[in-house]
Every structure is written in C-alpha cells, then in structure tokens.
Chain A
Amino acid sequence: MKNNKSKKFFIISLILAGFSSFLFILAANNKNGVEKFDIYLGAVWVFILSTIVALSLIHMFKNSKQDE
C-alpha cells in the first residue's frame, strides 16, 4: 500500500519534471546562440532538479497534512 503510494508520487514527480524539461526545451529553442548539446544537457539537468523538487514538495505537502 505504502510502496504503491510512493510509486504514485514518484510517477507524478517524473511527469511534472518531464513537463518542466519540455518547457525548458521550448524556451531554449527560441534563444539565440544555443547549441543542440546545450539544450540536451539543460533539459537533463532541469529534469533531475525538477524531479527532486517535485518529490520533496509532494512529501512535504503529505507530511503537513498528516501533522494536521
């Protein structure tokens, strides 16, 4: 039950991170002087950080609800 919940949160975080990377790619494509590799590296970095941030926020929200 608990593992299922953790998996669900992880998948939600991945979706949110994927969306952030997509937005990053959109913005980076419209920027002058940016190489393809910059976009790849940037997208991966944004994806990693966004996953961590989304996962932490979801758990923080869950914990604060539990405390209530």
Chain B
Amino acid sequence: MKKEDFKIQGMHCASCATNIENLSKTLPGVKSAFVDYAMQKGTVSFDENITNVETIGKSITDALGYKITSGKERDLEEENRSYQKEIRQQRNYTIFSWLLAIPIMFGTFREFWILSSFVPAFLANSYILWLLTTPLMLGPGRQFFVGTYRGLKHGFTDMNLLVATGTGAAYLLGMVNTLFPNLGFGGSKVAFFETAALLIAFLVLGRYLEVLTKGKASEAIKKLMGLKVKTARVIRNGIEQEISIEEIMVGDLIVVKPGEKFPVDGVIRFGYSAVDESMITGESIPVEKKENDTVIGATINLTGLIRFEATKIGKDTMLSQIIKFIEDAQLAKPKIQKLADKVSANFILVIHILALLVFLFWFFIGYDIFFTPGSQFLLSSISLSTVPISVFAVLLSITVLIISCPCAVGLATPSAIAAGTAKGAEYGILIKGGDAMERASKVNTVVLDKTGTLTKGKPAVTDIINIGSLDTNQILQIAASAEKGSEHPLGEAMVKNALEKNLVLSPIDSFQAIPGHGIEALIDGKKIYLGNRQLMSVQKITLNDSVEEKMQKLEEDGKTAMILAINGTIEGLIAVADTLKENSASAVATLQKMDFEVLMLTGDNRRTAQAIAKQIGIQNVLAGVLPENKALEVKKLQQQGKVVAMVGDGINDAPALTQADVGIAIGSGSDIAKGAGQIVLVKEDLRDIISAFDLSKKTMRKIKENLFWAFAYNALGVPLAAGALYPWFKFLVSPELAALFMALSSVSVTLNTLLLKRYKFKYI
C-alpha cells in the first residue's frame, strides 16, 4: 500500500470534497481517500501494483472536472500562479455579474421608489432583462451547471445542484413569461430574471470571498516553503562552488556567510556565530553556536563565517519535516468534523426532499389557507397578488434550495484547524491535526517523563564511593570503559567525567544494555555489572547494610546511585545527578494552577524520584517504572477515567506517548518519540505544553462557534425560506436574499476563524 498527497483545484464546497472521496474509493486499487476542502488537497492510499496517483487524478478530473496535481513535488510558484488565476477568474466573474445584475435589478424595480426618475424605461422591458441575464447565466453562472452535470453523471449531488436548480428554474420561468406572457405564470411584468441574476451575483461574490480566504488557510505552509534556500556554497575537492540545494549530499561541507541562511541541517565544523532560529522555534533571541553544535536549515547565520557538514538533506531536514507535519495535520479530521462531513453529505438530499415537501405543502394546502393578496417577497419586485399558485410554491421551494447550502458547515472545522496548527507552528508547537487538538483540549492529567523532559537529561557524576579495593579513579575508569558503548545519559556522564580526568578507557570485549536495569560488559575477561538494585538482585549479588546505607543517602539527595560489581563483587558506587530544565518548575506550577493533575514518571527509584519531584513541586510520582511498563501506567490512569497527556523525549517513551490520549514529544528528543507524539515541541521549554493545551482549547472553541453559526444560519434560514413565518407576518424571503444570506454564512465563519490569528501565547 502506498500513500500519496495530491492537490485539487476547483472545489467549491464541502460536498465537492465528499464527492472526490467517494469517487476515489470506487476506483480500482484505492483503499482510502481523504480530502480537505479548506486546504484544497487530499491523500489517497492505494495498491501501487494496480494504480498510481496520476491515474487516480485523471479519473477524478474526467469524472468530476477537478484538476488534480500530484503532491509529490510541490511547486510553490506554480501553486501561487494557479491560485492567483483562480482569484482573478472569480474576481472577474464577480465584477461582470454585478455590472449586469445591478441594471437588471434597477430595471425590474423601476416602478418602485424614485428609481423611475433615473432608470431608463427600456431597462424595464423583459426582453432587455432577458438579454442582460443570458450572458450572466452563460458566463459566471455556467460553472454551477457544468458542476451539476458532472456530479449527476456520477450520481453525486453538491451545492452546484442547489444553485443550478434554483437559478435554472428562475431563468426558465423568466423566459416563459417573456415569450408567452399569457400562459399564466405571472406575465412579462413578473419576469424572474432579477432572481436568477442576483442569485448568480451573490453566489459568485461568495465564491470569490471563499477563494480569498481559502488561500489564507494555507498561508503558513507557503510561508514555511518560502523559507527554503535555493543555492548553497559547497567545498568539494578543496574548491568552493555554488550548487543548487537539490545537489547537496550528506557529508558535504557548506560555507555560510553572516546574513545568509543555512541551506540544510547539519553540524558546525568550523566557526562561531549567533544564529536566528526564530522562524523554526519561535525563539526571538539568537542562539550562540560553536563547533559540533547542530544547525537547522533555513535559520539565519547572523555574525560569523560558518563551515558546517550537511547531515540532513531534502525531505529529512527539519523544515521539510515541519511542512509535512502541518500538511498531514491539516488532513487529520477530528471526530467533530467527521460528524459535520456526514451531516453536510446528506444535507443536500435532505434539502431537496424538503424543497419537494415545501412545494407540495404550499401547492395543495398552504396557498389556500394562508395566502393573502398584497403580501410581498423581501428584496423582490414580485407582487404576490399576481402570482399563480404553482409559481408561488416553486419560488418558495427554490428559496429553500438556495438558503441551505452547507458551505459554512464545510468550512467551519478545517479552516479553524488550519489556522490553529499554523499559529502553533509559528511558535514551535507542532500539533498533528484536528484529532490531536480535540483530544488535547480534553486533557485533565499530565504525565511528565523525568529524564530529558523535566531535567536536562545530561546528568553529571557527583560522587564516587569505593566499597572494595579499587580507588575512585579506578572505579570511574572501569565504569566509563563499560559504558563507552552505551547511549544512556548516565553512561555518557561517566565517560565524560573520565575523559575530563584524563583517564584512559579500556577496550570492551562485549556489551549489553539491560533496559531499566543497567549494563553488562566484559573487560579484560572480567564480568562487569553496572546498574541499579534490580540488576544486582537478578544477578544474585547481595548488597550489605553499609552499601545500602550509602546508596540511600545518595538517593535521598536526589542522585541516581549506580552499583559497580566486578566478577560478582561490589567494588563501588557512582552517583549521578541530573539538573532541572530552566522552566520545569514554573510549567508544573502553572499546570497545577490550571487544575491539571500532574504526575512524574520515571524509571528511577522512589527516593531519587521524590527528591526531584520535591524540587519541581510534583506530589504524584510514579517511580521505578520500567520502560515497557510506562505505557501500562498511562493505561491505568486512563482506566480511572482520566484523559492523559504524556510528555516525553526518549525512544523508551514512545509506547507511552502512543498509549496516552495525547503524546507530547520534546523536539530535541529522539525521532521515534517525535513520530509517536501527536504534539511536538520544537523548543525545550516545557511551558509550551501549556500553550499547546490553551491553543487546542481555543481552536476547538472556534470550531464549535463556527459549527454553531453555520448550523444556526441553516436552522434559521430554512424555516424562513420555507415560509414558516408567512401565516403570521405575511412576508417571504426572496431567492436573492437567500443567496445573500448563504454567502454571509460562509464569510462570517471565515472571519470568525481569522480571529485565531490574533491569539497570543501566554509565555511568548
């Protein structure tokens, strides 16, 4: 199975997205398909032996008319060109529509108010109105009919159908009344051309506004893509040469002058400089970088000349990963959107049934009982005293079709998710989509991994205690030699300390890490065990009271005591202590203030864990938890009905991050942890957890507000359009007013979403 993205041009409502999804699923070899209307893109999973994304795209284009381009290589300039073209087309349509619709409206309403004083009489002639309306129907209005035809050909219904039936019926009625005024449909005085013209004009205006706002939703990605550098100066065979970024290979030595951007990710091999990483991390203060420090592609070298070695290129760079992350995020649908999609997919069918019922009701019952001559449509020239029963019922039916387009429902969720994830990304908080946001907004319990999350994860050796015949340097030399092959931070601290003391490390014959316990190594034929009590207990090495007492004292101080045993005899203790991250304590305090239950999870023993917890202010500690049991502890909390967020950084946290309702990975941690987390914090600042929760809550609130307004428009509009208030108030909503109402619902939802752009992070 292969998964690929594709870009879609020409979608006009949420139903279009549903139709593409439905059609894709029927194509041979396609397993699943997701389409995001707001982002104008989709993802399809397919069997590459049967089909490919080009074939799928061609089938969609042939069947439904949408232009599909493979998302493999996104061409920003091409995307921008086609987006600008779409804007221009809809803008021209809007101008053209209104240039015709206004004279049509004046001509139709000529007898009202003071219009007759400046509107020429010929404009009221129904043939002239017909002449003006026809180019409107064939020009800007054609898109609705073409869309309807393509949809119906494959059995799909979308908003085009609602518009086409409404405007088509009004136009045909106008034609009949003009050509055959005595047929009884109201005569030439009631031409209905203004209904068709204003409907098209309002709908095209709505579509233009939608195209403008849809572009804003994908602005963040475009902004990020725009950060990419096009060329780089590489030293090859001792010669400095300028090459395109695609030609850079891992291991290349790249020169970056002050003021230039780093083209790819890498490690500094020469030079010292301050680097502006704000575009990636949101951190406004430049970061000092020296030899062996890592640099991120697209960040700016501010002060010194740097030569760095490329370590990640192409799609592996952090910038590409962030872009991919956001793109995937915007495609992941939250439950609330799945519900909205289902509703809007069936909505069009329901509305057509409703329109039929409205027609039948007013035709057979309503007209006879409630009709009062003299009452009027709002915003229409039609005088109800001159309209026959069939026309009256058809007009109400058309109004219901026009007012109920679920465009706003379709925009409500994806636009807010796009705005929320983009806002987060701007400040180094990467949220994997609506689903993660939805769950993050419900979290009430936060489990924090200790090492690397609350602490810097780079502990240092604090105490070396000899128990047997070896002196402290010998103990450290053996321990560091054994730990040389380990990637564990405790081991690294010992190696670092030994090297600082100029101790020469011995070669090891064998090495094995025992997760959660320690290590086992063979040096010069001696069996070395270095680890915690559990390791000694498994190896049946007994700790006497003196050793136990010394260990307890170290642990009471929050230090991790490691026991070194050589050939089954305990030779010494090495204490290592980790230091807290700068903002750990304040982040925990704020989380507690916000009524989150905060727990610390660690593989360390209870005493060490309690000592650290005390410094941070955490009361609930889950200590001595082996890596494989971390997920189990999270599960236990979930079984108690808690919605758990797990914050971690290491490979061993990955299962717990996956088990948690929301996994939050620290950006400096392992790639596996980042893959397992639904939220990634690019910076090391734990206060970003609070911002992530807050932003998720705000985005979810925005979605709910949007859905409320979108459904409220329909809930209010449909009964009004169906004439529910007519028996009492004697007024009806005209089809053109319905079109305005519908366009306003999409615009108000989009404007409400755009307010998220003004969101301020609590600590930034």
Contact = CB atoms under 8 A, between A and B. Distances in A.
Please indicate whether A and B come from the same complex rather than being unrelated chains: yes
B183 interface: yes
A36 B393 CA distance: 15
Given A35-B388, A52-B165, A42 B155 contact: no
B155 A9 contact: yes
Interface in B339-369: 346, 348-349, 352-353, 355-356, 359-360, 363-364, 368
Contact of B152 (A36, A53, A55, A57): A55
Nearest to B176: A41
Nearest to B355: A49
B391 interface: yes
A42 B363 contact: yes
Interface string B377-413: 0000000000011110110010000000000000000
A31 B356 contact: no
A66 B183 CA distance: 48
A50 B352 CA distance: 8
B152 to A, nearest CB: 7
Interface centre among B153, B161, B184, B390 (most CB of A within 10 A): B390
B360 to A, nearest CB: 8
B155 A6 contact: yes
A45 to B, nearest CB: 5
A65 to B, nearest CB: 12
Contacts of A50: 356
B352 A49 contact: yes
A35 B183 CA distance: 10
A53 B349 contact: yes
Given A31-B364, A38-B388, A52-B161, A45 B394 contact: yes
B712 to A, nearest CB: 25
Given A35-B184, A37-B185, A66-B26, A59 B155 contact: yes
28 contacts: A6-B153, A9-B155, A28-B364, A33-B368, A35-B389, A36-B184, A37-B184, A37-B185, A37-B388, A38-B184, A38-B388, A38-B389, A41-B390, A41-B394, A45-B169, A45-B359, A49-B352, A49-B356, A53-B349, A55-B152, A55-B157, A56-B157, A56-B348, A56-B352, A57-B349, A58-B155, A60-B346, A66-B25
8 cross-chain pairs, A with B, having the tightest CB-CB distances, nearest first: A38-B390, A59-B155, A37-B184, A41-B390, A56-B349, A49-B356, A42-B390, A52-B352
Interface string B151-169: 0111111000100010001
A27 B26 CA distance: 41
Given A38-B389, A42-B359, A66-B26, A53 B155 contact: no
A67 B533 CA distance: 56
A62 B359 CA distance: 28
A26 B711 CA distance: 37
B294 interface: no
Contacts, number: 85
A34 B154 CA distance: 37
B155 A27 contact: no
A4 interface: no
B22 interface: yes
A34 B390 CA distance: 8
Interface size range of chain A in the complex: 20 to 34
Contacts of A9: 155
A67 to B, nearest CB: 9
A33 B183 CA distance: 16
Contacts of A53: 349, 352-353, 356
Contacts of B346: 60
Contacts of A24: 360
Contact of B397 (A6, A37, A49): A49
A42 B397 CA distance: 11
A11 interface: no
Given A38-B389, A41-B185, A52 B157 contact: yes
Contacts of A52: 152, 157, 161, 165, 352
Contacts of B368: 33
Contacts of A6: 153-155
Contacts of B161: 52
B22 A37 contact: no
Interface string B138-158: 000000000000001111110
A52 B354 CA distance: 12
B611 to A, nearest CB: 56
Contacts of B359: 42, 45-46, 49
Contacts of B153: 6
B631 to A, nearest CB: 33
A18 to B, nearest CB: 15
A54 to B, nearest CB: 10
A53 B165 CA distance: 13
Contacts of B25: 66
Interface string B623-640: 000000000000000000
Nearest to A60: B349
Given A31-B364, A57-B349, A60-B349, A48 B185 contact: no
A20 B119 CA distance: 45
B397 A45 contact: yes
Contacts of A38: 184, 363, 388-390
A62 B154 CA distance: 12
Nearest to B157: A56
Interface in A1-43: 6, 9, 24, 27-28, 31, 33-42
Contacts of B156: 59
Contacts of A66: 25-26
